[in-house]
Structure 1
Amino acid sequence: MDTLPATRKRILIIEDDGDECDLMAQHFSPYFDITGFADNYDKLIGLLQPNHLPQIILTNLNLPRKNGLEILQELKGNKAYQQIPVIIMSVSFPDFLKIQAMQLGASACVDKPELYNHYETFCKNIYQLTLQ
């Protein structure tokens, strides 16, 4: 039987698909305190409150304007945010992009589920990653 965390880490999610945000809100809530959803870099920066930073940032790779790798570079290049672990997710995630993401400072690269009914397992796996 799975045990839920006594204290939940704060996670901020960057995703531009509203249906996926709804699924993540539902399935991440037992494991994390979701501090917000952003659909692009500018909204992300607006959600980053200096006295209440997330402990994890989960970003989609494929986003409009700045993609997940560009967001990762921006965060790792900013002293205020560079210590926050960033996990990058994508449905289509070739190995060369995973290698590039890890070289840029990603904490992990994960494959996003293609089917909505796999989100419960996906969210549980993200939580397991944060325990390491």
Structure 2
Amino acid sequence: MMGIFSKYLLVDDDMDDLDFFCEVMEVIDPSAACYTANNGKEALELLDSNSTIVPDIIFMDLNMPKMDGKSCLKILKSNSAYKHIPVVILTTSSNLTDKEEVITSGASYFLTKPTSMNELHEKVLWAIHGLEERAASMTGNN
């Protein structure tokens, strides 16, 4: 599947989740670039250090050391260079307060981490399609 997005960043401190996500992205779009960071601080450093890595979508966990997903989201959405990038929260939390807080802070979606690769594939694909549809409707290309 080749869509309008080609660069993805997953911010998560769980190495298995990073690997699974990149495997899923390889299936969804083999030509896509999949970047990873282990926490919000590392993600911001990665973005600030290399303008060629600026992703089309950021998938981010909430609970991480050094800088959690909520703090990173707030910084991203307050930075003119990054506020346009859709952020999808992908977390083990199913807490409604967390969901409300991150959506209010600018996250596009709040997804609970799935327990299988198939479910991860479905959720990631659903989020990508939803964001592509939003982008197309904003540009009048739907």
Q: What TM-score do you get using the length of structure 2 for normalisation?
A: 0.79
Out of 9-18 and 111-120, give the one that drifted further: 111-120
Where do 1:37-52 residues align within 5 Å? 37-48=36-47, 49-52=50-53
- Shift of the alpha carbon at 1:129? 2.8
Map of 1:23 onto structure 2 = 20
Q: Quick check: 1:14–1:44 contact (8 Å CA) kept in 2? A: yes
Kindly provide the amino acid, as one letter, of the partner of residue 14 in structure 2: D
**Distance in structure 1 (CA, Å) of the matches to 2:97 and 2:108:** 16
Q: Quick check: 2:41–2:72 contact (8 Å CA) kept in 1? A: no
Out of 52-61 and 29-38, give the one that drifted further: 29-38
Which string of whole-angstrom CA distances, capped at 9 and with x for unpartnered residues, describes residues 42-81 of structure 1? 3212321224411111100111122111110010111111
* More helix by percentage: 2
Map of 1:59 onto structure 2 = 60
Runs of 4+ in 1 over 6 A off after TM superposition: none
Gaps of 5+ in 1: none
Map of 1:101 onto structure 2 = 102
Q: Percent identity?
A: 26
Kindly provide the amino acid, as one letter, of the partner of residue 51 in structure 2: P
* More strand by percentage: 1
Kindly provide the amino acid, as one letter, of the partner of residue 72 in structure 2: I
Out of 47-56 and 90-99, give the one that drifted further: 47-56
In structure 1, the residue corresponding to 2:59 is in which secondary structure?
strand
How many residues matched?
Answer: 129
In structure 2, the residue corresponding to 1:21 is in which secondary structure?
helix
**Distance in structure 1 (CA, Å) of the matches to 2:102 and 2:7:** 22
Q: Quick check: 1:87–1:106 contact (8 Å CA) kept in 2? A: yes
**Distance in structure 2 (CA, Å) of the matches to 1:55 and 1:76:** 14
**Distance in structure 2 (CA, Å) of the matches to 1:51 and 1:72:** 20
**Distance in structure 1 (CA, Å) of the matches to 2:122 and 2:37:** 22
Kindly provide the amino acid, as one letter, of the partner of residue 65 in structure 1: K
**Distance in structure 2 (CA, Å) of the matches to 1:96 and 1:55:** 27
Kindly provide the amino acid, as one letter, of the partner of residue 13 in structure 2: D
Q: What TM-score do you get using the length of structure 1 for normalisation?
A: 0.84
Kindly provide the amino acid, as one letter, of the partner of residue 80 in structure 1: A
